[in-house]
A and B are shown apart, each in its own frame.
Chain A
Amino acid sequence: MIQGILTASAAILSLSILLTLFRVAKGPSMPDRVLALDMMGINLISLTAVVSLIQDTTAYLEVALLLGILAFIGTVAFSKFIEKGVVIERRRD
């Protein structure tokens, strides 16, 4: 019962990642793609949590936190590149 529900939710999350991948490929503008990549990272966090429940282990819980941090930093870097043209400024004025 529980295993079936977990497998179904993993399948739904995978489907959601696939649909997000369509937005990454098709997205008319750059912010669409960045936002789709961010959403893909968050779906990956959920998928990691579901997989760790399916395999009945706590070894993946750090991976979820890690993916959250990396998705945040990546999105901030992409946003700054789109907004200002540089990722790391030498001196802000």
Chain B
Amino acid sequence: MKSNDVILQTVTNIVLFIILMFSVFIFFNGHHEPGGGFIGGLMTSSALVLLLLAYDLETVKRVLPVDFKHVTAAGLLVAVGTGMGSFFFDAPFLSQTYGYRHFPVLGELELATALIFDIGVYLVVVGITLTIIQTIGEDR
């Protein structure tokens, strides 16, 4: 029986961007308020799961030609890289620092190196979750 998912697909096309924006918000929110890399990664992968539900595996692979195992590897590399980076400044492994910089449009921002570690956590969570879901979805 052929079915027509036009309502689900239209709603997904709009809601997907709301969820992605929420995930980015909650990712950058994590330094001072609840949030962070883990929940931000989970929200991004739930947006992509919604895309998988509304369309199918091959369409999502065509739209997003990313091997998520490589995303996991890149995230681990970033996380280890922030730890190793502190060696260049004669600091112990995984030392974190922060500073205030002035930007043209945004004004004064607090930049923390913990954010780079959080990007690694984010990439690992997105990669692992979508690898698990795509692997389970592929077999019959």
Contact = CB atoms under 8 A, between A and B. Distances in A.
B137 A87 contact: yes
Interface stretch (B54-62, B85-93, B96-104, B119-127): B54-62
Contacts of B57: 88-91
B24 interface: no
Nearest to B140: A90
Given A83-B3, A90-B137, 7 more contacts: A59-B33, A62-B29, A69-B43, A73-B49, A76-B50, A80-B53, A88-B56
B110 interface: no
Interface residues of A toward B: which range? 20 to 34
**Chain A binding surface, main DSSP class:** helix
A69 B46 contact: yes
**Chain B binding surface, main DSSP class:** helix
A70 interface: yes
Interface residues of B toward A: which range? 20 to 34
Contacts of A92: 55-56, 59
Contacts of A87: 53, 137
